[in-house]
Amino acid sequence: QKEVEQNSGPLSVPEGAIASLNCTYSDRGSQSFFWYRQYSGKSPELIMSIYSNGDKEDGRFTAQLNKASQYVSLLIRDSQPSDSATYLCAVSSSGSARQLTFGSGTQLTVLP
Amino acid sequence: DAGITQSPRHKVTETGTPVTLRCHQTENHRYMYWYRQDPGHGLRLIHYSYGVKDTDKGEVSDGYSVSRSKTEDFLLTLESATSSQTSVYFCAIRQDMGATEAFFGQGTRLTVV
């Protein structure tokens, strides 16, 4: 069973702080890694993708990947109340259809 | 908006009845997926398709079947709905092997009573 594990949360941070979300995965053949944001009652929205080791920055978001440790993280700088949502880590399988396996999500609350 | 429409958006049905959910895309993407989302379980893959008439099972396929007779439509059928199938169902699409991002529809909230 290929697994994706996220820190269970919920996570609360004050406005302006850095929120750190973590994810580990079991399939060493995984090629692609994603972070989705999901507001309550809405569908998941892709916010970051990362394919190679290291950091990838997009605005206030930084994704970090370490394939040797099978670890992916998402940092949100200058957190805003609008960042309050559930963040889902997803890993693309090494199978032919590259289906995504998701973690159970971390609920983030940014306190004003 | 990734050009994905799910229907219906909400449905209440009785135990034992068949139910079909529809996912329609306007992007001509090859890969389509059905997930269910339940509290504490995240998103779990039910079935997926890699082309017209080409489908395969995911991790929670029991009690579900799918069909894809056209590129744009991917149907999920609950043969005989049970209360354990009460969930939110999401369809996702992906362009091809080189494009790995998946985009989701709005979801269908299904309640089996």
pLDDT in tens, A30-65: 889 999 999 999 999 999 999 999 999 999 999 999
Which pair of tokens denotes residue A24? 């580990």
Please give the mean pLDDT across all residues of chain B. 93
Whether pLDDT at A100 is above 60: yes
Q: Which residue of chain B comes nearest to A104, CA vs CA?
A: B42
A46 → closest Cβ in B42, B101, B105: B101
- What pLDDT does residue A30 have? 87
Chain A hits for B31, Cβ within 8 Å: 97-98
Burial class of residue B89, CB neighbours in 10 A (0-12, 13-18, 19+): buried
Tell me whether B68 touches chain A (CB under 8 Å). Answer: no
Shortest CA gap A30–chain B (Å): 12
Q: State percent of chain B over pLDDT 70.
A: 95
Tens of pLDDT, residues B3-45 = 999 999 999 999 999 999 999 999 888 899 999 999 878 899 9
Q: pLDDT band at B97, cuts 50/70/90? A: low
- Shortest distance between the Cα of B50 and any Cα of chain A, in A, equals 7
Q: Residue B100 is nearest to which of A1, A98, A105, comparing CB atoms?
A: A98
Task: Give the DSSP per-residue string, B31-52.
Answer: EEEEEEEETTTEEEEEEEEEET
What residues in A contact B97, CB-CB < 8 Å?
Answer: 98
